[in-house]
Each structure stands twice: as structure tokens, then as C-alpha cells.
Amino acid sequence: MYKVGIIGWRGMVGSVLIQRMHEENDFFNINAQFFSTSQAGESVRILKSQESILLDAFDIGALKKMDILLSCQGGDYTKKILPSLRKKNWNGHWIDAASTLRMDSDAVIVLDPINKDAIKSAIEAGNKNWVGGNCTVSLMLLAIHGLIKENLVEWVSSMTYQAASGAGAQNMKELLIQMGELSESLDKIKTNTNILDLDKEVQLIMNSDRFTKKLFSAPLAGSLIPWIDEKLESGQSREEWKGSVETNKILKSNGHKPFSVDGLCVRIGAMRSHSQALTIKLNNDYTIEKIEELIASANPWINFIPNEKEESIKNLSPAAVSGKLSIAVGRVRKLNVGENLISVFTVGDQLLWGAAEPVRRVLNILTNKTT
């Protein structure tokens, strides 16, 4: 049985990964050991059958004993630990949810419904580094998989609406704290019917110095933040840059036609699940029926929503999608601003197909469990 060390199991991505591994009985297939950067030595019940003593995630000797290490701990941890392990001749598989290694030539971005052949070839070639893609990239590729398979896409502009949990467990809590602070004005709703006074009260709270914004550095509850990650020289945010480079690394790895992707990435006050409004330039004028059919039938996870008001409101939102493996895809129609342009609105749980699921599935591929 493969010895698999899991680091970052209690974070946002890690918690969802553990949940999915239980659901799919993955722990029966491996000898799992759990590591922590802050709680080594503590006893925790992660496996149903027994308690586990947490190992020290900075102990290179303990890490080296693992055949496979799966990290959901974040990029700083990867930067610090992986080079030390390789220097000590550790030749195991490193699976990561962080972005650090994604563009390295010796790392494969894993999204097996799209690039399983590339993953299989890389295993045969002796590749050892496997990285889950950026959440919006993986979700977008699965959402428009049908157009990709047929090589119909010329370019995509993706405007994202990304949930608080995309920034981690602590940020999710900060959004809830902000919501709580805004609800201080609730008492006044009962006594004060003047909507402008209530609105002013909410604005005062969210813009006051005592409003909690340590992590987001701006109000997210009742507002939005039009920037995710650092600024690059191109004027893009790093999150926006990832959209194009990662998409094309995944597509090229499996022989698909590459295409450009660009747009703005925006953090919104949703708790979980990322939404994206896509403008897609197709290489020809196809009927809307053909486009819908290709999108809807591309893979088992698409939940195609017809372009109708009631169905879109009910099914095409973070509230409807969170916690589900299915990816909702709708608002498909031809745009009136140019030729061969269509709109697509898609919502997917960024903690499932956007993070935990691709790394869970590559673990199964590496340990020969059928996915």
C-alpha cells in the first residue's frame, strides 16, 4: 500500500479533499499519514477507524518516508519544503493544490477529464510533480469542454465572480464577521422605515475604521473587490494572468488547440463557488442548438441550464451549486455585438472541481485506483 502524507488537511481545500476521500472510500486504498505545520503531536480523528497522531510538516525525515505527499498547505510551504526533499534525494510523487509549481516544465497541471492522456504519458516518462490548476481555469475548461473538444474556440473573455472561500478558511470567517457587523443595523430596520437612513447607516459601518477587514483589506459583505492577487507589469492581476497561461498549458499538454483568455477577476461576497461570465469567440457561425448540445453533453458533470429566467435564477448561482460536483452552465445565447460571439454563465464549486477533486483523482491515478 502506498504511504501517502497529507499536509493542509484542515484548510478549506484540505477539508473538502478529506470529505471527498471518505465519500469515495479512497482511504481503503492507501496508508494515510497526516502532517501539520502548527499542531504536530496532537491526536485527531480524520480516519473513521482510528485516531491519527499529527506528524511535523517541517520534519524532512518524516516526509521522506512517504511514497506520495499531497499538499493543500499553500505555496510558501511548497517553496520551503519540496526543494529540501528533492535535495535529500526524495523521489516520491508530490501532489499540490498551490500555484507555485504550475508553470514549471517538470510539473503537470492535472485536470484528468481534459488531459488524462497527458497525465498517463507523464507517469510513463517518470514525472513526479502534479499540480491542481487555478480554480476558475479548471471550472471554465470543464464548463466549455464540448467546444474545446471540437476546437471551436478562438478566444475567451472571462469575467469572474469569486467567492470568499477562494482566499481560504480564515477569509471565509472574515466575510461572516463583516456580515455580522453590518447586521448591527438590523434593529433599526424594525423602528426606522426610511430606506435612505438605513442605507447611510450601513455605509457608515462598512467604511468605519472599526469594520473588520484585516484579511480582505476592504469591505466584501455588501460590496465587492475588483482585484485578486498581486499586480503584474501587464496591468493584469496574477489571477487574471493565470487564466491564459494555465488554460494553454493544460490544453497543449493534451494536443488541444490553444486559445487566449483574458478578463477581470472580482471577489464577491459569496461564501463558496465561483461564477464566471464568459464571452466566447467561435471560429464559425454555429446554430445555438448545436452549441447547447455540445456544451451539455461534454462530460458527466455539466448541469446545463436552458436560457430561461426561472431556471437560471433557481439553478445558476453559488447557493444552488455549492457542495456539488456538477458545474452549472447556462445563459448560452448569441451576442449582438459581433459575429460568432456567444455568452455563457457558469458556476462551479471551486473547492471541488476547482481544487480538491483534480488532486484527489490524480492520487487515485497514481495509486492505480479507478477514478
Per CB under 6 A, residues contacting ligand NAP are 8, 10-14, 36-39, 57, 72-75, 97-99, 135, 165-166, 168-170, 350-351, 354-355
Catalytic residue among 72, 135, 145, 256: 135
Q: CA 51 to CA 60: how far, in whole Å?
A: 23
Using the minimum distance from each CB to ligand NAP, give the nearer residue, 321 or 351. Answer: 351
Using the minimum distance from each CB to ligand NAP, give the nearer residue, 40 or 179. Answer: 40
CB of 97 to ligand NAP, least distance (A): 4
Write out the three cell numbers for 213. 477587514
CB of 171 to ligand NAP, least distance (A): 8
Q: CA 283 to CA 364: how far, in whole Å?
A: 37
Using the minimum distance from each CB to ligand NAP, give the nearer residue, 53 or 169. Answer: 169
Q: CA 291 to CA 306: how far, in whole Å?
A: 12
274 included as an active-site residue: yes
- Give φ, ψ of 358 to 5 degrees: -60, -35
Using the minimum distance from each CB to ligand NAP, give the nearer residue, 5 or 146. Answer: 5
Using the minimum distance from each CB to ligand NAP, give the nearer residue, 11 or 283. Answer: 11
Interacting residues of 233 by C-beta distance below 8 A, sequence separation 6+: none
CB of 317 to ligand NAP, least distance (A): 17
Beta bridge partners of 161: 266, 275
Write out the three cell numbers for 18. 478529506
27-63: b (≥16 Cβ within 10 Å) or e: bebbebbbbbbeeeeeeeebeeeeebebbbbbeeeeb
CB of 59 to ligand NAP, least distance (A): 13
CB of 183 to ligand NAP, least distance (A): 23
**Class of residue 342 by CB neighbours under 10 A (exposed 0-12, middle 13-18, buried 19+):** buried
135 included as an active-site residue: yes
Interacting residues of 28 by C-beta distance below 8 A, sequence separation 6+: none
Using the minimum distance from each CB to ligand NAP, give the nearer residue, 146 or 354. Answer: 354
Using the minimum distance from each CB to ligand NAP, give the nearer residue, 286 or 353. Answer: 353
CB of 17 to ligand NAP, least distance (A): 9
Residue number, nearest CB to ligand NAP? 11
CB of 191 to ligand NAP, least distance (A): 37
Q: CA 144 to CA 94: how far, in whole Å?
A: 29
Catalytic residue among 93, 145, 256, 274: 274
Write out the three cell numbers for 207. 467604511
Q: Which residues are catalytic?
A: 135, 274
